[in-house]
Amino acid sequence: MPRVEVEGAGTFEVEEGKRLVLAIEEDAGVDIMHVCGSYARCTTCRVEFLEGEPVAMTQAELMILGMRDLVGKARLSC
Q: Where are the domains of the chain?
A: 3-76
User: Quick one: pLDDT at residue 34?
Assistant: 78
3-state SS string over the chain? CCEEEECCCEEEECCCCCCHHHHHHHHCCCCCCCCCCCCCCCCCCEECCCCCCCCCCCHHHHHHHHHCCCCCCCEECC
User: Quick one: pLDDT at residue 11?
Assistant: 93
The per-residue pLDDT for range 10-47, each reduced to its tens digit, is 999 999 988 888 888 888 988 887 787 777 888 888 88
User: Quick one: pLDDT at residue 13?
Assistant: 92
The per-residue pLDDT for range 46-60, each reduced to its tens digit, is 888 888 898 899 999
User: Quick one: pLDDT at residue 61?
Assistant: 92
User: Quick one: pLDDT at residue 41?
Assistant: 80
